[in-house]
Structure 1
């Protein structure tokens, strides 16, 4: 058991849309990611999608609904089966929690990120 400094972890990489595992929580990966631009629309059939904005601001596009703005200190959970797309005009830093082995790309054609441990 030890404290994990998320700022230090985020300084270890510069890539976008490339989640890095920083801890385990039950059968889940706790990850940090940076992104800018937009991810493809996708869904996860068997799990909710958890986003907590550490720094910056993101938009969550939900198919057929208005976009939601998610700011620093806010979290957003997309229920399983809901088609969504995260995006950001400027770089945003986000904490993610996903079941181990869940591809971050969901059902999109985008290649899933490898999710290295740091």
Structure 2
């Protein structure tokens, strides 16, 4: 690990540090059928995250954020990551690819080791479903 990097594999802390107000890890985890509208009703307005899948192969977290919110520039040294855009608009910076706007229905993939940053854009909240290995290591430049 470089002196100028910070590693974090605690999903709740990572989300909190990215400005997510409320994180629920167990309530909806590994439920055979989950409904997006029901989760939105339960979680309400504002920014929130709900872990839907957690096993020894991969984890999946549903994340809602408000315009201007997102995550910090980071990479995963040992895992690929993908997202399904469930609602709204996001701006995605992917190192080597530049910045792109993605919308409902788009699927974004980033290989391991590639820096990326996500920001909700537009005039309403947006939801993405993030899929990667469980307890993935996030590496941030200090």
- For the 8 Å contact 2:75–2:115, the answer to whether it is kept is yes
Q: Relative to total residues, which structure has the larger helix share, 1 or 2?
A: 2
- Identify which of 56, 67, 77 aligns with 2:109: 77
Other-structure match for 2:49: 19
Q: Which residue of the partner structure matches residue 102 of structure 1?
A: 136
For residue 79 of structure 2, what is the aligned residue in structure 1? 47
Q: TM-score, normalised by structure 1?
A: 0.75
1:7 to 37, 40, 56: 37
- Superposed, 1:58-77 pairs within 5 Å as 58-77=90-109
Large movers: runs of 4+ above 4 Å? none
Structure 2 unmatched ranges of 5 or more = 1-30
Structure ID, larger Rg: 2
2:139 alignment partner, SS class? coil
**Aligned residue pair count:** 107
Gaps of 5+ in 1: 111-118
Are the aligned partners of 1:10 and 1:32 in contact in 2 as well (CA < 8 Å)? no
User: Per-residue CA shift, 1:6-65, capped at 9, x if unaligned?
Assistant: 22123322453x532123466212221112323211000111121111000111112354
